[in-house]
Amino acid sequence: MIKMTKTKVLSLSMMVSLAISGMANANVTNKDILNDQMTTEDVVSYGLGLKGQRYSPLKKINTDTVKDMRTAWVFSLGGEKQRGQESQPLVKDGVMYISGSYSRVFAIDARTGDELWQYDARLPDGIMPCCDVINRGVALYGDLVIFGTLDAKLVALHKDTGKVVWKKKVEDYKAGYSITAAPMVVKGKVITGVAGGEFGVVGKVRAYDAKNGDIIWERPTVEGHMGYIWKNGKKTENGISGGKAGQTWPGDSWKHGGAAPWNGGTYDADVDLLFFGTSNPAPWNSHLRLGDNYFSASRVAIDPDTGKIAWHFQTTPNDGWDYDGISELISFDYKQNGKTVKAAATADKNGFFYVLNRKNGDFIRGFPFVDKITWASGLDKKTGSPIYIDENRPGDPADSKDGKKGTAVLAAPSFLGGKNWMPMAYNKDTELFYVPANEMEMDIWNEPGSYKKGAAYMAAGFTLKPIHDDYVGVLKAMDPKTGKEIWRYKNSAPLWGGVLTTAGNLVFFGTPEGYLLGLNAKSGEVEFKFNTGSGVIGSPVTWEMDGEQYVSVLSGWGGAVPLWGGIVGKNIKHLNQGGSVFTFKLPK
């Protein structure tokens, strides 16, 4: 299925052309990355800034002008690998860098849409990505373009040629590990998580020297596994991951605990902490692993210098529904009683929206952001812990007559989540979060299961279905201070792409039906609509070049919904796959 290809190398004439046009210019620095949100001429980090707010101060394209926005160019990723394009573009000095499905990277002339180079990873047979062959983006640092692969490697390419500068194996893909998230660079370190929770891997976050790929530290996210730090090439223990083996994982369940930080992280310089979400504990069957199962289904704050866990907040202890905790944690400030609160917010797969103190992880408030939650009656007002409805936990197969299937329950949200991987956005002008939510429920039951390296380790079954007859996806404008929904935009198919918001009072996002939409950030009114011809599950970006504002998004249907969506997936199976970058601007 995966063929070996050669990297396209720039010709001498193209190199000269790039130098003349200013494309082969300055390297990306730590300062560039830290200032990314407020520098409008480039996008050098995933999330348009390490906080992940996905907010741009640009406003030439606004509610008055966006109706005139036209395509500037369209770039095709080509070949037969037109499937599941979840990438967010990066832009530096007139060059756009994107990743594509099957672990590919492209450099594109941002003025013309011409391809400059392409790199195709040489993927082995037998890769085991849980949820399609997607990749969510690259990182830029110095003269390097860095990304993770489906066989769990980090690869650094030269930004001008696409040639490999260094390559490191992060984990063993034969055990079920992979990398699908965009890495981030903090203080010269490439920070990456791993995927593979459905295969009973041990989740972990790792830091590498961006210049040469040397490992700096490793932090497991399953309690009981040792963390390490490397100094002068020597590996030393850096403390057990926040507790002793078996403390919240009775017996040997911690040895294959999942808790994979597969969705990437954010960073806040104010408190100097990395924030990662972790996946479901393995297996899904919670009767096979008693206890709270630290640090699964959690937000984990990590010291970027040492890899130590500073604090954690667990959204679904002893998760029995595959609710994970992988949604991004976004730092933001707000005023309360005349004081500035340094907060962070996340919209969980479990259907609750949480506001935390980002200094220490203390719970500030939480509230539902979906229409239906069956597994919990609410959150404890002091701790934020869920108040479980015990009879709505899937039953233990050991209690059944034949021991093969536990009692099934109807659970909402579904395991695909009130919100899944797709990043929300925060607009500091409206002080609202824009959440790509989905209204789905599931019948779920437990089955017997045991760990085997490289095999699915779920011990559960499910069927998915929509909650409402006329829509599944809902973009919701949420007030984090009150928990109120300000407006909503309903969409017939699930929403599966990221959100961008701007000072132009706009919110951009895509739909599986192929549309890039621009909504009024205050009212939710549709101001712009364009059909790209394939489902949009990428994350839009905007930047300024030659005095003009541009908006770009990847189009290409795929991802988890058509693979796992059951009835929901069947309803949209007719949607065309694809692989294109659409770039827009206002006419001169």
Tell me the catalytic residues.
322
The pairing of beta strand 55-56 with beta strand 499-502: parallel
> Could you give the count of Cα atoms lying within 13 Å of 225 in the half-sphere of its Cβ?
22
Comparing C-alpha atoms, which of 375, 319, 569 is closest to residue 465? 569
Report the length, in residues, of the chain: 588
Answer yes or no: are the C-beta atoms of 361 and 299 closer than 8 Å: yes
Which 3 state secondary structure label does DSSP give 157?
strand
Residue type, 351: G
Distance of CA 336 to the CA centre of its chain: 30
CA 478-481-485 angle, 5° bins: 25
* Burial (CB count <10 Å: 0-12, 13-18, 19+), residue 11: exposed
Measured distance CA(418)–CA(400) in Å, rounded:
30
Structure tokens at 322: 């595959």
Strand stretches in 295-431, DSSP E: 298-302, 309-314, 330-336, 339-347, 352-357, 363-368, 376-379, 386-388, 409-411, 425-427
Answer yes or no: are the C-beta atoms of 304 and 207 closer than 8 Å: yes
Kindly give, in sequence order, each residue whose CB lies less than 8 Å from that of residue 433, ignoring residues fewer than 6 positions away: 330, 345, 347, 353, 424, 425, 426, 477, 478, 480
Structure tokens at 107: 């450099």
Residue type, 553: V
- The string of DSSP codes covering 40-107 is TT-B-STTSSTT---EE---SS-TTTGGG-EEEEEEE--SS--S------EEETTEEEEEETTTEEEE
Measured distance CA(362)–CA(570) in Å, rounded:
42
Distance of CA 393 to the CA centre of its chain: 27
Rounded to a whole number of angstroms, the distance between the first and last alpha carbons of the chain is 45
Fill in the DSSP letter of residue 123: P
Structure tokens at 233: 């090439």
Phi, psi of 280 (to 5 degrees): -60, 150
Measured distance CA(555)–CA(347) in Å, rounded:
24
Q: Taken in order 304, 309, 315, 316, is the CA torsion positive or negative? A: positive
Which 3 state secondary structure label does DSSP give 561?
helix
